[in-house]
Amino acid sequence: MQAFNWRLFTPGKGLFVGGVTLPLALAELGLIDEYEFVVQPRLAGHGPTLFAGLSKYVELKLVGRQEFVSGAVAMRHEPRA
């Protein structure tokens, strides 16, 4: 983690990550300052669970929302202080 920690604290456009394992590790370390979730209007009934195994709750505050023609909704959240 130390190899790229300096990037996380340098002002700029940020670092976007996806998947399941890396975001979980970053959340555990408290290194995520904004979460963006895109919800598709489709039920899959299977697949990975986001942040499964997180050791504690992270209370979030909605800071932005955008709807798309497809019906998808992107929501941006920040951790509550």
| Token pair in block for residue 37 | 């979730």
Least confident of 7-11, 36-40, 57-61, 74-78: 7-11
User: In angstroms, rounded to a whole number, what is the distance separating the alpha carbons of residues 41 and 45?
Assistant: 13
Q: Which residue has the higher pLDDT, 13 or 18?
A: 18
pLDDT the model gives residue 31: 87
| Angstrom distance (rounded) from CA 61 to CA 77 | 5
pLDDT digits (tens, 9 = 90+) for 35-61: 999 999 998 888 888 899 999 999 999
The Cα–Cα gap between 38 and 56 comes to 23
Running DSSP on this structure, what letter comes out for residue 7? H
Integer Cα distance of 39 and 73 in angstroms: 5
AA identity, residue 10? T
Residue 74 has pLDDT above 80, yes or no: yes
